[in-house]
């Protein structure tokens, strides 16, 4: 009898996957590289200050809603910090 195991990612791994998919979705919508979006997000602490803490709420939304929300939030936070995109 063969036993099959299904890998279940940890909560931290699920959050990392979600964060990466957010970066990719924003980059695609803004026609930028994921590296450029990551740098923008790091400058304003968007990943640790918004995406990861709000994971439970954000990951239950549609991909388009999450992408639009992150772009809107990124723009507002950059303006507040005086950072030009």
CA angle 34, 30, 28 (to 5 degrees): 55
pLDDT (mean) for 13-26 = 97
**pTM for the whole structure:** 0.87
Res. 1 pLDDT band, cuts 50 70 90: low
Model pLDDT, residue 78 = 96
Whether the Cβ atoms of residue 62 and residue 25 lie closer than 8 Å to each other:
no
At 65 the pLDDT is: 97
pLDDT one-digit tens code per residue, 54-79: 999 999 999 999 999 999 999 999 99
């Amino acid at each position: 009898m063969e036993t099959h195991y299904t890998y279940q990612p940890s909560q931290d791994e699920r959050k990392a996957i979600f964060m990466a998919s957010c970066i990719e979705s924003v980059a695609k919508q803004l026609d930028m590289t994921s590296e450029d979006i990551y740098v923008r997000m790091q400058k304003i602490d968007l990943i640790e200050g918004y995406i990861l803490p709000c994971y439970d709420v954000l990951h239950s939304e549609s991909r388009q809603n999450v992408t639009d929300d992150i772009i809107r939030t990124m723009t507002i936070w950059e303006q507040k910090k005086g950072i030009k995109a």
